[in-house]
Amino acid sequence: MVGEFRYPDRVAQPVSPGVARTPAWARTLEALPPVVRWRLAEVLGALPTGNAFDGRVRERFDQLMALAEPWLGAEPALAELGYWMIEPRHAEELRRQGCRWLARFPSAETARRVAAIAVDAATPRPVREEAIRTLGDRELRARHPATVWPAEAVQLADDALVRIATAEAATGRIASEALPQALRHVASDGIAAVFARAPALWAEALECFASPPLARVLAVSIDDIPPQHRLRVLRLVAATLGDEAVPVLVARLARMASAEQLEILLLAIAFGGEAHLGRLEDALRGGRDADALRGRARWHLQHRGVVPTVRGLRVARTTAAIPAAERAGRFAQAADDLGALTHYERHLEPYLYTLWGWMTRGAGDPARARELVCAYPAAQPLVGELYLEDLARRGRVRALVAAAHALGAQDHGALQLAIWGRPIAALAMAAAARHHTPELACARALACYRAGRSDLTDRVLAEDLPPPAIAGDDAASFPGPDEQWRIRSGAAGPALAALAAGRDAIVALAQPAPHDAEPDAASFEPVLAVERRLRRGLARATVYLAGELKPARRDRLVAAIAAAGARLVVGPVPGTDYYVAGDAPAQAIAELERRGVRRLRGLEEA
């Protein structure tokens, strides 16, 4: 995960749209890591001048979006590219992707331009739908911490969404699939008034924001809300009106289904207190989940006046509008709120667990990650690194090994085991890692040191560092331009920073194992495996010839490999030990080294 760091303030200068679409311009963007600059230049060089935006061009654009998501917000000038992409003269798909791109650059100007597309009924439907999503996208998620929705942009986006919603309501049906979800992010009297005129029509959009007048309408018309949305609306009414909602909702108990009756009774306890416990007990008599629901009632008595899911959602839906300095604390509270009721019952809507995961990541708290995964194991990929850290801190070696393998994060798992005092288990896990990353190299170096083999630590740092990130066509050694940029800017993770600083910094990562930690692995074989890896012997090793080689040189290499007792492989299959570089692109060589295949320079020279 990207660390919470800030760049020095800079004034965004106007950028010519033509300049903003050139690869040369992309390579000058110092606010972005070199890897992102290189990929951006590659995409800009391939953008269509006509109407085609598919195939390889689209694939590269999607790869850029995935890679650059945590960084784009650091460079506001990149909005110019989005403004060019959404121009009416372009193909639908290019315009749609332009709206998607601009969601990373919220500003008043972005809101104006996207709103113009969204409110225009003549806009092609796919483009209009993406524009509506962008206007409602107030969530930070994995974006750069400099991404902030200013108040003016929020107002412009809200006004456009109100205008669209008013037009949709006039037809008596909602044609836009994106609109209800976008409106879940909007807290304005204008949209509340639209909802109040036809609450059943807008049931999908009702979630965590409502004005008191709208909440009163919802309370008296709760029967009209479709059943699949009714629990969410009941909570919204109670959270908005407080004590005022209790008698209105209780009066409708007889007309509600059993699940809705229980929700009303629990909300009554949240605001009215113990006076409503008797009615709840009557409803629970003979029920299967009575103890769990009594537990939730006790929680409400201890937290009077709180509807935690609604309070948590009000933060989760507007994270990009919260000032950066306030985010960590607000995210932590929202994570607690979204998880509060799961001790007693599961969320019926899975998206709540996803939002809980983003709040946990924003808070950066391993203990909160554990609580989420215990409640909803499918959330592991979203908070994986935090969860592995929590397991290591508590000495849960077996669970960590299983989780790291399930997540494909053996490098991060090995590093956590090495940090928290289980070096042999760390080296065993490192042997199963798929990619040679800074975390993997750091884990090996630290684990060897803690296993009493500081000599192997020194050899790892001298001979087995990871490859640099690919940031161009030229070969580089570790740390490459991208790694150096991250270290200078404060964006390097602990493993990368420690590897660059040397052995003392790596050793300083070590923490004592907890007193009740599970024992380390009993076999010393993982240490011996590292020793064999560093020995660089060719006997029984596998070797791959990478790239084009002149026939005579290839024949000599094949003969030398066979004479040394090694086997030649036709491709870099998993477990390949070495490679000999021929005429191969730097990117291909870097990918080999990322897979842990080492270069036989001595054989090349011989």
Cα(501)–Cα(560) distance, integer angstroms? 38
Q: What pLDDT shows up at residue 474?
A: 66
Q: Where are the domains of the chain?
A: 19-151, 187-306, 309-389, 407-531, 536-605
Cα(547)–Cα(293) distance, integer angstroms? 66
Residue the block writes with tokens 């304005």? 188
Q: Which two tokens stand for residue 523?
A: 């076999």
Cα(490)–Cα(331) distance, integer angstroms? 22
Q: Which two tokens stand for residue 437?
A: 């990353």
Q: What pLDDT shows up at residue 15?
A: 54
Residue the block writes with tokens 């397991």? 391
Cα(40)–Cα(32) distance, integer angstroms? 10
Peptide linkage before 479 cis (omega within 30 of 0): yes
Long-range contacts of 389-395 (CB under 8 A, 24+ apart): 389/416, 390/366, 391/416, 392/416, 392/417, 392/419, 392/420, 392/422, 393/366, 393/420, 393/511, 393/514, 394/514, 394/517, 395/420, 395/421, 395/422, 395/513, 395/514, 395/516, 395/517, 395/518
Residue the block writes with tokens 């008034």? 193
Q: Which two tokens stand for residue 546?
A: 């990478």
Q: What pLDDT shows up at residue 5?
A: 27
List phi, psi (to 5°) of 52. -80, 125
| Residue 282 and residue 258 in contact, taking contact as beta carbons nearer than 8 Å | no
| Residue 427 and residue 527 in contact, taking contact as beta carbons nearer than 8 Å | yes
Cα(414)–Cα(407) distance, integer angstroms? 13
Q: What pLDDT shows up at residue 118?
A: 98
Q: What pLDDT shows up at residue 542?
A: 84
Q: What pLDDT shows up at residue 561?
A: 82
Closest CA to 348 of 177, 240, 231: 231
Residue the block writes with tokens 């740092």? 461
Q: Which residues of the chain carry a pLDDT beneath 50?
A: 1-14
Cα(348)–Cα(346) distance, integer angstroms? 6
Q: Which CATH number fits domain 536-605: 3.40.1080.10, 3.40.50.10190, 3.40.1030.10, 2.30.30.230?
A: 3.40.50.10190
For residue 599, the cross-strand partners are 579
